[in-house]
Amino acid sequence: MALLLTSDEEGIAEHGVRRVAQHFRESGQRIDWCVVGEPSSRERLGDLIRIGRRGSLTGTLRVRGVQGHVAYPEKARNPIHQAAPALAELAAMRWDAGNLAFPPTSFQTLQ
């Protein structure tokens, strides 16, 4: 029995599960059974164990505009302003009700 802890799965993840899996392949080690735990928390990392995995869906939204200068907005078409109403509507949607193990699904805008 072995316990594997990784620390960088939320970042660039270059020293996490991928590296360990590569090491197992190269050394001929085989895993017959595995329990995958993902740390969660309410107040402090690891103070909660969840059953299941929330998951995520990532997409790319491209909005085209017309380049301009902040002093002359009437000569430009700002794509951020064009996308903002749609993003606000998606963020306000009720995707589901959640369940005992997980809160409702949410829409989060990044970058």
Cβ atoms within 10 Å of 91's Cβ, excluding its own: 11
Q: What average pLDDT does the structure give for the chain?
A: 83
Residue 67 lies in a domain: yes
Distance between CA atoms of residues 94 and 90, nearest Å: 9
Mean pLDDT, residues 34-55: 70
Question: Domain tally for the chain?
Answer: 1
Residue 8 lies in a domain: no
3-class DSSP assignment, residue 19: helix
Residue 68 lies in a domain: yes
Distance between CA atoms of residues 13 and 50, nearest Å: 22
- Burial of 46: CB neighbours in 10 Å, binned 0-12, 13-18, 19+: exposed
Residue 58 has pLDDT above 70, yes or no: yes
Q: In which domain, by residue range, is 107 found?
A: 54-111
Residue 101 lies in a domain: yes
Distance between CA atoms of residues 46 and 15, nearest Å: 20
Q: How many residues are listed for the chain in this entry?
A: 111
Query: Which pLDDT value is given to residue 95?
Result: 94
Residue 10 lies in a domain: no
Mean pLDDT, residues 13-27: 82
HSE-up (13 A, CA, CB side) for residue 46? 3
- For 30-39, what is each residue's pLDDT tens digit? 888 877 666 6
What's the whole-model pTM score? 0.53
Mean pLDDT, residues 16-23: 81
Residue 69 lies in a domain: yes
The domain that contains 94 carries what CATH number? 3.30.70.360
Residue 45 lies in a domain: no
Residue 29 lies in a domain: no
